[in-house]
A and B are shown apart, each in its own frame.
Chain A
Amino acid sequence: MSLLNNPLKSILIASIIAVPATALAETAEEKGLRIAKEAKASDLGWQDMQAQMNMILRNKQGQESVREIRMKSLEVDGDGDKSLSVFDKPRDVKGTAFLSFSHPIGADDQWLYLPALKRVKRIASRNKSGPFMGSEFAYEDLSSFEVEKYTYKYLQDEACEGGNCYVIEQYPVDKNSGYTRRVVWIDEGEYRPWKIEFYDRKNSALKTLTYHGYKEYEGKHWRPDLMKMVNHQTGKSTDLTWNSYRFKTGLTDGDFNKNTLKRAR
């Protein structure tokens, strides 16, 4: 332990602490990553959540189709969330249930329960870019936000519906993603996303998602009542509405296994 070593150490520590607080030579990539980490950290501690999710699918002619799904999810320390979804509508898939253990990196573990056959089927989770139940939401649009899923680049500050927003470009790490990049507007006060623009594999504008009717739950968890996804290439759109959000209902690991999947209904 030399005398020289200690001051050096404290300088190092000081600089590590100081970086997030100041804009000291922070690159656009570092700033994007920092904001993503802060956004994730600001929503930690929700423990578990139950909600009702309804979708209205609209085609170019304005014909509508309805989806109704009940969802339970569990926050997992140091890993992605666990979730259990049960389909109520359309009626031909009523009782179909979906169990997912998501992971920040690598494939998620997913099982589907088919009530007519009473069969639990492990399914490949490779299909991130596919449409969720025929809607304009891809599976990857509905999975939980994990910092490791993207690399980042801060673009600029801009006024948005939530006040002042950071505009950040996100580049999916997973090669199976359907996007080259997403441009996200996150408000500076509460780190809520207000708008996401999606660019397809050819880097053409594909979809725009907007968030509406944010409400605060348990003093810190902001959730939207409505998410509108518009596909610019097909003219189709999907409105996703959320009802009956409930947090900290006491769900545990034991509520997310193949047995609970079979009787989820």
Chain B
Amino acid sequence: MTHVLELRGITKRFPGVLANDNISITLREGKILALLGENGAGKSTLMNVLYGLYQPDEGQILVRGKEVQIHGPNDAIAQGIGMVHQHFMLVPVMTVTENVMLGVEPTKHGVFLDQEKVAKRIREISDEYGLEVDPDAYVGDLPVGIQQRVEIIKVLYRHADILILDEPTAVLTPQEVEGLFKIIHTLINAGKSIIFITHKLKEVLAVADDISVLRLGKMVGSADPKQATTESLAALMVGREVALTVEKEAAKAGEAVLVVKDLFVRDEREHLTVQGVSFEVRESETLGIAGVQGNGQTELVYALTGLLQAEAGEIHLTGESIKQATPRRILERGVAHIPEDRQRHGLILSFPIYDNMMLCTYYKEPFAKGVSLQQKAIFENAERLTEQYDVRTPNIYVHAGTLSGGNQQKVIVAREFSRPIKLLIASQPTRGLDVGSIEYIHSQIVKKRDEGAGVLLVSSELDEILALSDRIAVMYKGQIMAILDAKDATKEQLGLLMAGIHPTAEIRN
């Protein structure tokens, strides 16, 4: 059997981090190799080494049995390696044709771009692999699923026969994922070989011919998809038996804390991304908002926290309308917000931890008297919170930017939970964190709920939604498809709703 690609003993170090530690994998011709691992396990680093974006510190790359040096994407492309990046590498203000031809432009008279020739070739590729797309469309106008097709066409246009798909399903609905799998099989039938990177166990079992598992930068094992189960793969991936369920008592939901009625929100680019959303969150209850990323959840949270002005509709917090309210007013009414992008909104990375610990309450006693900041109280507060919330840091004077992602998130949680709150809005609270931090943050969220706060949990991880929520709302294209009781909800049902399809099963409100 030919090994179309082999990586031997790849080691890649970054300052303070061993991202890849002596990793070896092999890809068989015409097969799909799944590279499985948690966020931060080193999958993307390994693929960037293969694609020439990083240079390995040690190790060899063999293509069809011959050792090759890959110093940059051009070398990778020359070896027939193509990569579909997790974050699409497309220029939104350019057409599909321009994006595809970029870097290998055919010319007329040796000078001028030959767009027609490329457009024709794109149509050929479209027909051959079932990748329908309009060559003249602007990429920024295309839906995410189609943009992914453009990425695949880009790779095929360069005659790649080894395709790397980096987390290709992260931004797709379950139904779009089905479509992608069909495309993958067409590619395999045409003789291509594929490396499929993911952290989703079921997908691996559905498509892979071989499985390699990474954990903390190391190869921890291979598995045969015919014998492996989700549990055995999960154990390999995480390194211990994982408890995906969180211990929690049944909700004793009380009065409504947050009432949202017919809410419409426009994003910064004037797109109407939230279209008529209504729901309520009650005391001592967690409402989970499930949905594929980019279906209006971000803007919904922005509108609820005052970061975006709602276009129309009503938002009531404990009876008071906060539709026009400023973020300050909303915070003062007892709303805690764990933001989706912790480095953008949640922290000032260049400020010390003690400043970040009072970022929202700096103007209040005991941190300020009049306009004068009270340094002693500020330090004491930070010392106490780092202790209480187990923030791992040398001291409270270091910049927040020096902390790991998990500890940064703990700083935010400590700050937000340290003031009296009635409503907690947690947006993707565990994205990119290690398992230990995830468990800790989950337990804190449950604790807040049990103390009587209403919790609005927005997450694109279905497991997280199912583990924490009492009720689950599913968002699709800016609307809420249904609100289900968490006890009755199944993953399949939620998956269909996330794709905009109402299952025939009875839906309770």
- Is chain B found bound to chain A in the same assembly? no
A positions within 8 Å CB-CB of B: none
